[in-house]
Amino acid sequence: MTVAIEAIPSEDSSLFTYLVFEYDKELFSDVHENLTQISKDGKLTFNLESNFFTIVRGAYHTLKRKLSITSIEKNKFSNSVMSLKTSQNIFPLEYCQLHIESNYFYFTAHTFKSQKKVEYQSINFDRTFIENLQKNCV
């Protein structure tokens, strides 16, 4: 199951930006356990596979044909993602990471555009997000 979540680029842009990834039941189960059962003194950072995320950027009218923006606005994610063909607005990301703090987590990933590093960061999520994701991505 392919999932899309909102992302914020480290550079100014008028384009909508989303991180797209294949749902990994084990990963989200581990994150849920970490949030609910393991105490932490500070932020934990885990490296994910390079290219774990694909970035999808574009104008609203372009992206609404590829994923459900309404679902992302309502549920913080969409599992209604159409087939993504490679274009200048769709590309894999490097240095993908998962960050876990006391009761929330978020993702980051980087790319290099014209010799410039651009970081993409997801919004913060909590355990409720994982529970909703697990229900909808069976």
Tell me which residue has tokens 């581990």: 30
Taking residues 40-59, what's their average pLDDT?
87
Distance CA 40, CA 15 (A): 36
Q: Is the pLDDT of residue 120 over 80?
A: yes
- Terminal CA-CA length for the chain: 8
Quickly count: other Cβ atoms within 10 Å of residue 120's Cβ: 22
Q: What is the pLDDT of residue 78?
A: 85
Q: What is the pLDDT of residue 99?
A: 95
